[in-house]
Structure 1
């Protein structure tokens, strides 16, 4: 399969994630959109590693190992982000981002 298909899919996923972050007010949806953007970048890294490995220029596992590190960082980000959302819900009984100014007190 040509690399252009992977690039177009990755761009589409990343744009959907950006639109979700900019348009939504629900904190859980925003975190899902951030994860979607990270997965779009991971897809692009794996596609380029496959392309360069077929050309014989680099090892195929190098970018895929980098993807695993990104996945570990994304999992840690989700854990911390969900903890913040749970604390926000306990204080305000809502996960609306506009209500974050209440947490200043």
Structure 2
């Protein structure tokens, strides 16, 4: 198998995800960009595992480590989305906006009373 095409697709997905993280102000779109980056990493892990497994089968051993790591990344991504959406919903209830650059950071931030 020639793994060039999956690696190029993964690089494009990761690049789009990085652009989304650096450029977007909306927190929901930011989470979607992070998910794109995680899916690109999953594609790389599975492609590398498939490529290496074809060589290992010739030697008599086979491993599914890429698929196992991809499964762990999917579980972590699901937990990240659950926690992230809960934080974004609370932010929207308090500020009526999901803009990331309006989030108060640090101890100097004044608490906002919900309307």
Structure-2-length-normalised TM-score: 0.85
Pairwise CA RMSD of aligned residues?
1.7
Structure 1: gaps of 5 or more residues: none
From the two aligned structures, give the one with the greater helix fraction: 1
Aligned length: 105
Structure 2: gaps of 5 or more residues: none
Alignment check: 8 A CA contact 1:50 1:60 kept: no
> Match of 2:37?
37
> Match of 1:28?
28
Q: Distance in 2 between matches of 1:88 and 1:82?
A: 10
Q: Distance in 2 between matches of 1:76 and 1:26?
A: 20
Tell me by how many angstroms 1:66 deviates: 1.1
Provide runs of 4+ in structure 1 moved above 3 Å: none
Tell me by how many angstroms 1:102 deviates: 7.9
> Match of 2:69?
66
> Match of 2:6?
6
Structure-1-length-normalised TM-score: 0.92
Which structure has the greater CA radius of gyration? Answer: 2
